[in-house]
Amino acid sequence: MKVKTPSKLEKILASGKMAVTSECGPPRGSDPDVIPHKAEKIRKHVDAINVTDNQTSMTRLCSLAACIRLKLMGVEPVLQMVTRDRNRIAIQSDILGAASFDINNILCLSGDHQSFGDCAQGQNVYDLDSMQLIQTVRHMRDEGKFLGGDPISRPPQMFVGAAENPFADPYEIRVPRLAKKIAAGVEFIQTQCIYNLDKFEDWMSKARDRGLTEQVYILAGVTPMKSAAMARYMKNKVPGMDVPEEVVKRLAGTPKEKQAEEGIKMCIESIQRLKEVKGLSGFHVMAIEWEEMVPEIVERAGLYPRPVVD
C-alpha cells in the first residue's frame, strides 16, 4: 500500500516490517511531566505512542495536548479521538489543531458511554460515530475540504486508524464491520487486547478470505496480565473482553509474587504465536500504568531494535 502521509508509522507499515505501538494514559491533572516521563521509558522500543482520550469517560488531560507534548519531544504520537464528547465542529477543529503541530496519526473511536466515568450525569454528543469520523478525516485530508464544503487551508495529513474488537458480540458481523471501516477509509486497525488467540486467528482468516488484510494494516492488541485477580476482573467485568479460562487458571496456579512475571511471559508467548499469523502487520502493546515493562516485552519478543525511517 502506498504511503500517503508523512506519518512515520505509515512508513514503517508500508515497508513491510512489523510495527509496534503502545499507549500512555494522561494524568487526571495538569502536570506537564507525566506524559513525557512515561514516553521516555518506551520511546526507543515503539514506533508510535497512542494517547487515550478520556478513556472509560474519566476526565483527564486531553489527548491533543498530550500528543503535542510528545511531538515536541520528537516522539511519534497517535491522537485518539472519541466522538462522545465533541460535535462535528469541535472534531474538525481539534483535527486542525493536531495538524498544525504535524501530528500525523489519528485513531477514530466512538468512546465508552459516559455512565462509566466521573461525569455520569453529563450529556453525550455522538454527532458522528467512529465510522463517520473516519470518513471525515479522509475527506479533510484527501478533498482538502471541511464537512460544510469550504476549502481548508493546509489540510491535515493524517494516517487514519480505528479500533476493532474481534471478541465483541455479535461475532458474525465482526469481519463485515472491518470491511465497512475499510470502505469508510480506515488505513490501520488496532485491536482490543487478545487473550483468546484461537478466536483471533479465526477472525484474521475470515478477514484474509475477503482480501481485507491487503487493504488495511492490522496491529494485534496485547496487554500483559499483572495478576490472577486482574485476569478475573477483565474476564467478568470488562465488556467486550474475551479471557479464556486457561489464562486465568495458569495465573491462579502461579504463586502470587510470581504472577506478574508469568503474565509478562504469557504476553510474549502470545506475540510469538501471533507473529506467524498471515496478514498481521504489527502489535499494539497496552501496558496501562505498567509502561516500564514495554521495553522488556518488545525485546524478549524479538521486536527490538525498531526500524529507522526518514
Partner 1 sequence: MIVADKKPIEEIIDYVKDHQSILVLGCNECVTVCEAGGKKEVGLLASALRMHFLQQGREVNIGERTLERQCDHEYLEEIRTSVDNYEALVSLACGVGVQFTAEKYMNLPVYPGVNTLFMGANEMRGVWSERCQGCGQCLLGHSGGICPVSRCAKRILNGPCGGSTAGKCEISKEIPCGWQLIIDRLKALGRMDDYEKISPIKNWSTERSGGPRKVVREDLKL
**Would you tell me which residues interact with partner 1 (CB under 8 A)?**
84, 88, 110-113, 115-116, 124, 126-132, 135-136, 147, 163-165, 168-170, 172-173, 176, 179-180, 183-184, 192, 239-240
Residues 6+ apart with CB under 8 A from 153: none
Q: How many CB atoms lie within 10 A of CB 290?
A: 15
Shortest gap between Cβ of 176 and partner 1 (angstroms)? 5
Residues 6+ apart with CB under 8 A from 79: 51, 53, 63, 64, 67, 98, 103, 105, 106, 107
Shortest gap between Cβ of 77 and partner 1 (angstroms)? 22
Nearer to partner 1, 115 or 272 (CB): 115
CA 28 from centroid of its chain's CA atoms: 20
Shortest gap between Cβ of 168 and partner 1 (angstroms)? 5
Q: How far apart are CA 181 and CA 162, in angstroms?
A: 8
Shortest gap between Cβ of 134 and partner 1 (angstroms)? 9
Nearer to partner 1, 15 or 236 (CB): 236
Shortest gap between Cβ of 136 and partner 1 (angstroms)? 7
Nearer to partner 1, 52 or 132 (CB): 132
Rg, C-alpha atoms of the chain: 19
DSSP SS3 for 64? helix
Nearer to partner 1, 38 or 203 (CB): 203
CA 168 from centroid of its chain's CA atoms: 16
Nearer to partner 1, 48 or 108 (CB): 108
